[in-house]
Amino acid sequence: MAKLAMGELEAEVMDVLWDAGGPLTPGQVHELMSAERPLAYTTVMTILVRLWRKGRLDRQPAGRAYAYQPLKSREAYAASRMDEVLGATKDRPLALSYFIAGLKPGDRARLRRLLDGGGERS
């Protein structure tokens, strides 16, 4: 079995937590992830703690363990990542123009409505 990069495991753990819609213990995350492929409990625990230390998860005591949940929704996290990437460029307007040019027509129209004040956030 090929070893996944830690970033990929972090993304998988975040997907499990986002899909759950509520806090999960490490055991619950491990069980859900192990349904797809074998993974050590300690690996799941390490990833959860790492994500918590990075400020991506909240944790609350749940018996002898902690229950973890994302601090941001999947969509809010994606938006913050887009802003982070834009902030890393020297020419933000040029980067935005490339981004907009690469959008599908429906997404471009949706963006236009959002910019014109017809927000679609749910």
Q: pLDDT at position 117, please?
A: 86
Write the CA distances from 30 to 3, 21, 44, 53, 77, integer angstroms: 17, 16, 6, 19, 23
Query: Average pLDDT of 72-77?
Result: 95
pLDDT of residue 22: 95
pTM (predicted TM-score): 0.80
Cβ-Cβ contacts under 8 Å for 45 (sequence gap 6 or more): 26, 30
pLDDT at 39 over 60: yes
What is the four-CA torsion angle of 24, 28, 29, 34, rounded to 10 degrees? -170
pLDDT (mean) for 38-65: 95
Model confidence at 118: pLDDT above 90: no
What average pLDDT does the segment 11-35 reach? 95
Q: Would you state the pLDDT for residue 122?
A: 52
